[in-house]
Structure 1
Amino acid sequence: MRRYLFFIGLLFSFKAVVAQDRIVFDDRANLISSQVEYLLSEKLKQNDISLSTTVDIKEKCRYYFAKIYKSENRIITEVENCDGKLLGSKSNGENLLSSNDEEKAIVIYYAVLDIIQNPTMLDEDLSENKQEVSANINSEHDSRYFFAPTSFGLKERELYYNSIYFLLHDIQYGLTDNFSIGMGTTLFGFPVYFTAKLSIPLKEKHSIALGDMMILGTYGTNFFGNLGFATYSYGDSHNNLTIGAGYLNVNNNDITEANTGSLVGNFSAIVRGGPFFYFLTENYVFNVNSREYAYRERMLPNGDYTYDEGEYNLRRTLWYGLTGIRFVRKNKELVSWQIGLTHVLIAPGNIPSPYDSPSWDPYGYRNEKSRMIAFPTLSYTRKFKLE
């Protein structure tokens, strides 16, 4: 009986090995063009392995999962099984990015084949710590902090969903590896906004992005706003900081009752605290206009009193930020949760002349003080890789 069970187990093990006849690539180094994909597919067919762009979850263990990414000046190829176990890793050197399509296909093919035929094989300079190798893989959530964008872009056909309190809903879609568009609104459908972002990778650890967010009122509300912005990010996919600047223009509308034109400054950062959590913060500084009123009473020469009322725009400085922790699902890295605090500091503005005088009463704003507000924040994100 024991021998029978042994052969049954051996048979299933043999079937599991034979059944792994497909491979999918997560190309994070932008190496695999359509021509490279074709050449690579033809070479893999010689080993009875078909290259696939999608995964049938019901048959997940028929697939190898290959990742190609850039670490410092090297291109790294890794292959995992369906349980996420690292089968091996190969360094493809420094010159692969400048190679032609055929050379790229050949190098990737032999790297993958070596790993598949020799599981647990790592390059000598990568074999000291498998977790460290795995940690170099790009984060699936490196295009956003809580809400603010980084200079890193989504890959082509990646869809990113972000919700704060499940009241604000935001989606972003990668049209190419460097250009994405998106939109968002609240649970109530007011307002609605549309976004576009062009990411421009520079040298190692340096990226910039240009973007725009247009905000519209709904339900017939007279509201329009537009924020054009530029960002610079320094760091890698897991640890980085972003400095951004833009110009926000809001029309004279039903909500603010004043035109607002303001420079907007942004500082955001994220630091990896462990395999599955990060510390992050994003902060904005800008000015807001509000329409305020003042009044005064004057005694006329004949002894009568007259009442005067004036209006003016009060320009306040506002610091808005979110700070907290991101948790990435251990068994599903495409999902993350963010918890923390939203903090708002409102600094009083200067009352313009002539209303900043003892004869005018600006409805109590003369003694207005800075106000700090803080409340909990919860957000959920999910990336979808569409094929």
Structure 2
Amino acid sequence: MKNLLLLFLILASLLAKAQDSTTYVNVALKNGNSVSGQLLHKSDAEVSILTSDLGTVMLPWSAIESVNVISKQEIHQFANPQPTRYFFAPSAIPLMKGDKYYQNAYFLLNSIQAGLSDHFSFGGGVFVPFALFITPKIGYQVAPKVHLGGGVLFATSLIRDFNFGVGTVYGSFTYGTNEHNFTVNAGLGAVNENTGLGSNDYQWKFASKPMFTISGMTRISKRVLLMTENWIFSTKTVNYDSGTGQYVNTVSAYNSLLSAGARIVGRRYAFDVGLLSPTSSEFSAIPYIACNIKF
């Protein structure tokens, strides 16, 4: 009896090890499609996967954007079509060459971004009817699950005689995969400010303190990822004497814009929904909705 029990335990252990050795992956292709299944073989030339509908598929590395280990339950889910950005803030994950996406938020904010190489993308858009902006970006994978990058955000007014302009140069650090990651961006902003009371002259001035974004996303189901994006920036408040109207002082302080929500994904689209809450005023929750299309 003891020998039979010992044999049973040995067989159970071997079976568990055999099950543990099975690896399931999601392979994101450069053409925007993805293939999921059991990893059979990986070499310097190709990756072989056993799929439930296509059988064994051999994919050359030249066609592959990324390979991510997943659970068996995740085989039939769509890959995240927008790992390069959160609600608006970028990650350091680059847009691949030839990939493009369009975003519309609030029916007023329209933007497009295109991958000119596997490490550099260029885009821009318009916030109708107020501003025009551009968003060049670079990104590199420097280690497993580690990306570094940076870029520029520049916006200027579309309204004549309204001398509006803002910009920032930033660097990015992202840790994680396309499905589960977090990002820290740090940048130095600049504003096109009036040189003095009653003057028509404007001058670009860099902020004395950096600004930051802290963002993250994680998949919780086949079609849903949770997201958060939080902006931290310095603002200046000019104080005047209420009686005389004379200048008293200028106070600088950090404020933030917090957000949380979800991304609902398909093969080439994503809908972002969430709530925005500025901390500089009394608590308020502003609804956010955007549509993203990858093409």
TM-score class, shorter-chain normalisation, is 0.7 to 0.9
Q: Which has the larger radius of gyration?
A: 1
Mapped partners of 1:115, 1:325: distance in 2: 29
Which of structure 1's runs of 4+ aligned residues deviate more than 4 A? 26-30, 128-131, 257-260
Mapped partners of 1:66, 1:309: distance in 2: 63
Aligned position for 1:266: 213
Mapped partners of 1:290, 1:322: distance in 2: 24
AA paired with 1:328? V
AA paired with 2:74? E
Matched, 1:156 2:97: yes
Matched, 1:245 2:186: yes
Mapped partners of 1:279, 1:273: distance in 2: 7
Mapped partners of 1:66, 1:260: distance in 2: 42
Aligned position for 1:356: none
TM-score (norm 2): 0.73
- CA distances 1:166-216 after superposition (whole Å, capped 9, x unpaired): 12112111101111111122121x211111111010111111111111121
Please list every run of 5 or more consecutive structure 2 residues that lacks an aligned counterpart in the other structure.
1-25, 59-69, 196-201
1:222 to 137, 146, 163: 163
Please list every run of 5 or more consecutive structure 1 residues that lacks an aligned counterpart in the other structure.
1-25, 31-52, 54-64, 68-77, 79-85, 97-103, 297-306, 347-369
Q: How does 1:134-213 map to 2 (within 5 A)?
A: 134=76, 138-188=79-129, 190-213=130-153
Aligned position for 1:320: 257
Mapped partners of 1:89, 1:66: distance in 2: 17
Aligned position for 1:132: 74
The Cα of 1:279 is off from its aligned counterpart by: 0.8
- CA distances 1:22-73 after superposition (whole Å, capped 9, x unpaired): xxxx98477xxxxxxxxxxxxxxxxxxxxxx7xxxxxxxxxxx975xxxxxx
Summarize the Cα distance change of 1:66–1:92 in structure 2 as closer, same or farther, 3 Å threshold: farther
What is the RMSD computed on CA atoms of the aligned residues?
Answer: 3.4
Matched, 1:336 2:277: no
Aligned position for 2:223: 276
The Cα of 1:378 is off from its aligned counterpart by: 1.1
Mapped partners of 1:383, 1:291: distance in 2: 44
TM-score (norm 1): 0.57
Summarize the Cα distance change of 1:138–1:207 in structure 2 as closer, same or farther, 3 Å threshold: farther
Aligned position for 1:374: 285
Aligned position for 2:234: 287
Mapped partners of 2:180, 2:159: distance in 1: 42
SS in 1 for 2:74: helix
More helix by share: 1
AA paired with 1:309? Q
More strand by share: 2
Instruction: State the number of aligned residues.
Output: 250
* More relative contact order, 1 or 2 (CA 8 Å, 6+ apart): 2
The Cα of 1:335 is off from its aligned counterpart by: 1.0
